[in-house]
Amino acid sequence: MVPQELRYTKSHEWVKVEGDTARVGITDYAQKKLGDVVYVELPDLGKVLKKGDVAATVESVKAAESVYAPVSGEVAEVNEELVSSPGLINQDPYGKGWLFSLKIADEKEIEGLLSPADYEKLIQG
């Protein structure tokens, strides 16, 4: 079951809107597909991203995957804990395993994200 308070992308990012910021991570489905995460490359603070830009990279023992900006905005915060403990993504993908926060540039882009029900349909094929 996917958390109901979040929005999702087809590329398996989750978004938690908190006022004018969007906290971003990868979904439980995505971390399970990746396997044990061993390295995370986070975006620089202040970097301006457009929706769909590569924002971060998550590497596992199996593969390296790009994490895309689900909305346009400026990187307001990054989860520094992941540098030394990338496995937090596997242990708690919706909590301590978050990747970065964006100051949202265009709130209308939130409406284009998948609802929890639509994301469930996507991952169930």
- The CATH number of residue 72's host domain is 2.40.50.100
pLDDT tens-digit series, residues 11-42: 999 999 999 999 999 999 999 999 999 999 99
Q: Is 44 part of a structural domain of the chain?
A: yes
Q: How many domains does the chain have?
A: 1
- For 17, the domain range is 7-123
Q: Is 1 part of a structural domain of the chain?
A: no
Residue recorded with tokens 């457009």: 50
Question: In 3-state terms, what secondary structure has residue 40?
Answer: strand
- State residue 88's pLDDT score: 98
Local confidence pLDDT in tens for the 125 residues of the chain = 799 999 999 999 999 999 999 999 999 999 999 999 999 999 999 999 999 999 999 999 999 999 999 999 999 999 999 999 999 999 999 999 999 999 999 999 999 999 999 999 999 98
- State residue 1's pLDDT score: 77
Q: Is 2 part of a structural domain of the chain?
A: no
- State residue 125's pLDDT score: 86
Alpha-helical segments (H) within 13-115 = 28-34, 81-84, 88-91, 108-111
Q: Is 72 part of a structural domain of the chain?
A: yes
